[in-house]
Amino acid sequence: MSGHTARVRAGNDRTSLYTEITDKIIAELEAGRFPWVQPWGTASIKAPLAMPRNASTQRGYSGINVLILWGAVIEHGFSGQSWLTFRQALRLGGHVRKGERGTTVVYADRFTPDDERRRATEAGEEPGAIPFLKRFTVFNTDQCDGLPEDVAA
């Protein structure tokens, strides 16, 4: 695969991811719900008032991921705000139940290739960073079985 083809595909994937998230937010707005407003105290909310976190690393989610995961908790009636990837559930000794559908979250960052660092050093310039966007599928701990009690709680 040529370098140009790889860039085009990565760009298309990023665009489709942006479109996917935007379409979900627009659908919520059209349904009369504001996805950035947590509906405290409504009967449909079983999860405690909390920020979503990764159940394996205890790291909190941020940015658009908070809205996406809050929306999934509301939509599916999950009882908690703890999330795992498929592999994290396996590493913890549990598994995602067959037929469960995950929720897509995103990770955005920048990196500087070694060649760019060398070129910038030789030219006396600041190295250029390349932005990237990566998607992950996570599952609420309610969708998993066999997790250690402290993780599943």
Cross-strand pairs, 108: 133
Residue range 106-116, pLDDT digits in tens:
998 999 999 99
Residue range 45-81, pLDDT digits in tens:
565 668 999 999 999 999 989 989 988 988 888 999 9
- Residue 126 reports pLDDT greater than 50: yes
Domain positions in the chain are 37-152
Contacts 24+ apart (CB under 8 A), 129-133: 132/10, 132/108, 133/14, 133/17, 133/106, 133/107, 133/108
Q: Residue 116 is encoded by which pair of tokens?
A: 């760019």
The closest alpha carbon to 107, from 148, 54, 32, belongs to: 54
- Calculate what percentage of the chain has a pLDDT beyond 70: 79
